[in-house]
Chains A and B, each alone.
Chain A
Amino acid sequence: MSKIILIGINHKTAPVELREKLSFSSEETIAAFELLKQDNDIKESLIFSTCNRTEILYIPRTGEQVDKIIEFISRHKKIDISEFKSALYVYKEDEAILHLFKVASSLDSMVVGEPQILGQVKQAYRTAVENNASGVLLNRLMHKTFNIAKKVRKETGIGDNAVSISYAAIELAKKIFSDLSQKSVMLLGAGEMAELAVEHLLSNNVKQIIVANRTFKKAVNLAAKFNGQAVKFEEREDALKDVDIIISSTGATDYVLTETQVKQAMKKRHHNTLFFIDIAVPRDIDPKINTISNAYVYDIDDLKNIVESNIEQRGKETVKAERYIEEAVVKFRKWMENLAIVPTIKALNDKMSSIVDIECKKTLLNLKHLSQEDMEAIKRMTQAIASRTIHDPILFLRNTGDHRDDSLYLNVTRQLFNIDLPEEE
């Protein structure tokens, strides 16, 4: 019976330097498929490589071929086996299926529940299909993987909650403003944190970015990076009338925006909503501003609180997701067993011998003159005819040849002989 084996490294077992060395670009993946296809010991394969993991999923024709694959990685990536062997994990059979399901459902991700992973798995599978690297078993396995990943996403709240500070801030902004692409952002301070937050915001296409910093030059540099506009730090109060979101991360010891300033600005902007994200410690934005109507202030602690409660929530959902996944593994295992050749052969044998038995008994009932020995001989002969008849078909099923589709012949056999095996689902 075919085995499913998965070898890989991920963010839990290997540092980023090693992951970088072992990652497969799409060209490298295609080249690797070419080599793997030529290898007679590997029947089907799939390579999955993102910044957090590199995994090879394969089905060996004989044995397990683990060392061969490790050697293959070493050769292909030109890296010594000793360098990465300790970081590798090898999963076989059910464990491999379980791991694959978990990866696609984003339970194995660095940020559990992040939505990109499923797309990446799909892309990897598409590449494998386009290069004829995957076959019956992997095709089926991957489709089941997509199903379970979708189910987990749909029926558990695993992807619902923001679990990073900047992501939580963006989520909040989306709950305050309906369309971020119509909103302008002002950065107070040009530090690293501000840059990070803006990168997140930019993926949501904000209308305009204004940077205000005490050192004007830094503001200009950062603004240039994001295609924004730099203003002097003293102009920040004026700029309030044109922006909607303020991200503050200065090193100032005092508040850089006070309640009175914002109250004044509110009048100028016809009380349109303002959202302050204060990621500075000590705080930059006077918390009293939150009491002004249509102004919302979130400091770093507020955001942390949201993130923490989200992580807690996500933990609960993970348990549910794991249950779905385990169920799916059991189902897939059943399908594989069903698919396997042995039960078909057994059913075929059973059917033939039962036919022979019935017919033999019927005939012998009317041949009372025969001795016990004769009867035994006839029985043996009929049994022999039956087993000789199906000998060749069974041999064929056991070895369907290199490029043939096992499941197709199994299905045909079952239909030809009208053998009923319990189908899964």
Chain B
Amino acid sequence: MNLQTAQMVLQIATLLYFISMSGYILFLFNQKKIYQKIAFCFISTAVAFHFISMMIYTIATQHVPIQNLSQSLSLAAFFLGCMFLFFQYKFDLKILGVFASILLFAIMVIVLIMPEAPVEKNIVLKGFWLYSHIVLVFTGEASLALACGAGILYLLQEKGIKTKRPGFFYKRLPSLDFLDNVGYTCLTTGFALLTIGLVTGFIYAKVIWGRFWNWDPKELFSVGTWLVYAALLHLRLYSGWRGRKSAIMTIIGFFIIIFTFIGVNMLLGGYHQTFTK
């Protein structure tokens, strides 16, 4: 059980993600259920391997793999995989796998080719509040990523119907209502997780640094992201921002998340920086 094993298992997981992605793309084109089933099996196995890889790493080094950007991305991908499996189970929206598997494979490729920053022992990165902060924020962001996926599918389907040219996606995608519903559930789930995740982050900050709020750039952007989603939910509930507008907003929201996740640390620094070297 060492780091090399962990890396190898991670590579296997990436390969499985790739096979799964190919399966989903085949499914998108010729709509044979068997491809979707195979792809789904592969993505489940990939998530399992991914988990094993992280476990091996944790046992070998005695800390969780969130010490640099590569590891954080890998963890984000893992939670995305988990959330996808969960929503797939809940909604059986097979075509969402196309989005999820492509995104997963893309992240994993970045993880594997990215030069690993040396890991410094950081005593701060431990404790219950930190772990719950990480799990909640990552699962929340994974849900919001899937909401973005559902939003993209919605826009594709909506465009065909609105312009009266039902094309490639018309047969392949489910109804607008259903896609909107899936997007909404992903959105509310993600928002709830993110909210609690942020709160645990504040508590953690209080425990470690003695203050809830440190004017860290990541804190600012995270709260900003949270406000964007809060606004979206509010508009949806009280001003009828459903369907197309809501789908566009979830896509924009997800880009803000990506920026908050990576961009802020690279460009603006702050104490979240350690994960993103």
A contacts, CB < 8 Å to B: 160, 172, 174-179, 266-267, 270-273, 290, 293-294, 296, 298, 302, 305-306
Complex-state Cα separation, A270 to B173, whole angstroms: 25
With A271-B243, A273-B243, A294-B242 already in contact, the answer to whether A178 and B177 are too (CB < 8 A) is: yes
With A160-B171, A290-B162, A296-B161 already in contact, the answer to whether A176 and B243 are too (CB < 8 A) is: no
- Decide yes or no whether B178 CB sits under 8 A from chain A: yes
Interface members, chain B 237-276 (any A CB < 8 Å): 240-245
Contacts of A305 in B (CB 8 A): 164
Complex-state Cα separation, A79 to B241, whole angstroms: 67
Contacts of A174 in B (CB 8 A): 175
- Decide yes or no whether B214 CB sits under 8 A from chain A: no
Q: Are B243 and A294 in touch, CB under 8 angstroms?
A: yes
Contacts of A270 in B (CB 8 A): 240, 242
Q: How large is the interface on B (under 10, 10 to 19, 20 to 34, 35 or more residues)?
A: 20 to 34
Choose one: A177, A179, A296, A306; the contact of B162 (CB below 8 Å): A296
Q: Are A175 and B243 in touch, CB under 8 angstroms?
A: no
Interface contacts beyond A175-B173, A272-B240: sample of 12 additional A-B pairs, CB < 8 Å, sorted by A = A175-B157, A175-B161, A175-B166, A176-B176, A176-B177, A177-B175, A178-B177, A271-B243, A273-B177, A290-B162, A296-B161, A298-B164
- Decide yes or no whether B181 CB sits under 8 A from chain A: yes
Contacts of B157 in A (CB 8 A): 175
Q: Which of B164, B176, B241, B242 lies at the interface centre, i.e. has the most chain A CB atoms within 10 A of its CB? A: B164
- Decide yes or no whether B87 CB sits under 8 A from chain A: no
Complex-state Cα separation, A178 to B182, whole angstroms: 11
Contacts of B241 in A (CB 8 A): 271
Complex-state Cα separation, A296 to B157, whole angstroms: 13
Contacts of A271 in B (CB 8 A): 240-243
Q: Are B242 and A178 in touch, CB under 8 angstroms?
A: no
Q: Mark B73-105, 1 if CB is under 8 A from A, else 0.
A: 000000000000000000000000000000000
A244 closest partner in B (C-beta): B177
10 sampled A-B residue pairs with Cβ under 8 A: A174-B175, A175-B174, A175-B175, A176-B175, A176-B176, A179-B177, A271-B242, A272-B240, A273-B176, A294-B243
Contacts of A176 in B (CB 8 A): 161, 175-177
B164 closest partner in A (C-beta): A302
Choose one: B164, B170, B175, B245; the contact of A293 (CB below 8 Å): B245
Choose one: B164, B171, B178, B243; the contact of A178 (CB below 8 Å): B178
Contacts of A172 in B (CB 8 A): 161, 166
Complex-state Cα separation, A228 to B173, whole angstroms: 32
Min distance, Cβ A183 to any Cβ of chain B, angstroms: 9
Complex-state Cα separation, A175 to B243, whole angstroms: 14
Q: Which 3 A-B pairs have the closest CB atoms?
A: A271-B240, A178-B178, A178-B177
A176 closest partner in B (C-beta): B176
Complex-state Cα separation, A272 to B175, whole angstroms: 14
Complex-state Cα separation, A338 to B171, whole angstroms: 44
Complex-state Cα separation, A329 to B113, whole angstroms: 56
Q: Which of A271, A298, A306 lies at the interface centre, i.e. has the most chain B CB atoms within 10 A of its CB? A: A271
Q: Are A272 and B171 in touch, CB under 8 angstroms?
A: no
Min distance, Cβ A314 to any Cβ of chain B, angstroms: 13
A157 closest partner in B (C-beta): B171
A294 closest partner in B (C-beta): B243
Q: Are A175 and B242 in touch, CB under 8 angstroms?
A: no
Min distance, Cβ B34 to any Cβ of chain A, angstroms: 11
Q: Are B175 and A267 in touch, CB under 8 angstroms?
A: no
Contacts of B245 in A (CB 8 A): 293
Q: Are A306 and B166 in touch, CB under 8 angstroms?
A: yes
Min distance, Cβ B215 to any Cβ of chain A, angstroms: 39
Complex-state Cα separation, A211 to B272, whole angstroms: 62
Q: Which of A273, A294, A296, A305 lies at the interface centre, i.e. has the most chain B CB atoms within 10 A of its CB? A: A294
A172 closest partner in B (C-beta): B161
Q: Are A178 and B174 in touch, CB under 8 angstroms?
A: yes
Q: Are A175 and B240 in touch, CB under 8 angstroms?
A: no
Contacts of B164 in A (CB 8 A): 298, 302, 305-306
Contacts of A294 in B (CB 8 A): 242-244
B182 closest partner in A (C-beta): A178
Q: Mark B144-165, 1 if CB is under 8 A from A, else 0.
A: 0000000000000100011010
B241 closest partner in A (C-beta): A271
B176 closest partner in A (C-beta): A176
Complex-state Cα separation, A189 to B240, whole angstroms: 30
Contacts of A306 in B (CB 8 A): 164, 166
Min distance, Cβ B86 to any Cβ of chain A, angstroms: 20
A174 closest partner in B (C-beta): B175
Complex-state Cα separation, A179 to B175, whole angstroms: 9
Contacts of B177 in A (CB 8 A): 176-179, 273
Q: Mark B14-56, 1 if CB is under 8 A from A, else 0.
A: 0000000000000000000000000000000000000000000
Min distance, Cβ A375 to any Cβ of chain B, angstroms: 67
Complex-state Cα separation, A244 to B240, whole angstroms: 16
Complex-state Cα separation, A270 to B162, whole angstroms: 19
Contacts of A298 in B (CB 8 A): 164
B157 closest partner in A (C-beta): A175
Contacts of B162 in A (CB 8 A): 290, 296
B245 closest partner in A (C-beta): A293
Complex-state Cα separation, A296 to B160, whole angstroms: 11
Complex-state Cα separation, A118 to B151, whole angstroms: 39
Min distance, Cβ B239 to any Cβ of chain A, angstroms: 8
Interface members, chain B 175-205 (any A CB < 8 Å): 175-178, 181
Min distance, Cβ B67 to any Cβ of chain A, angstroms: 44
Choose one: B176, B181, B244; the contact of A175 (CB below 8 Å): B176
Complex-state Cα separation, A296 to B165, whole angstroms: 13
Min distance, Cβ A158 to any Cβ of chain B, angstroms: 13
Complex-state Cα separation, A366 to B161, whole angstroms: 92
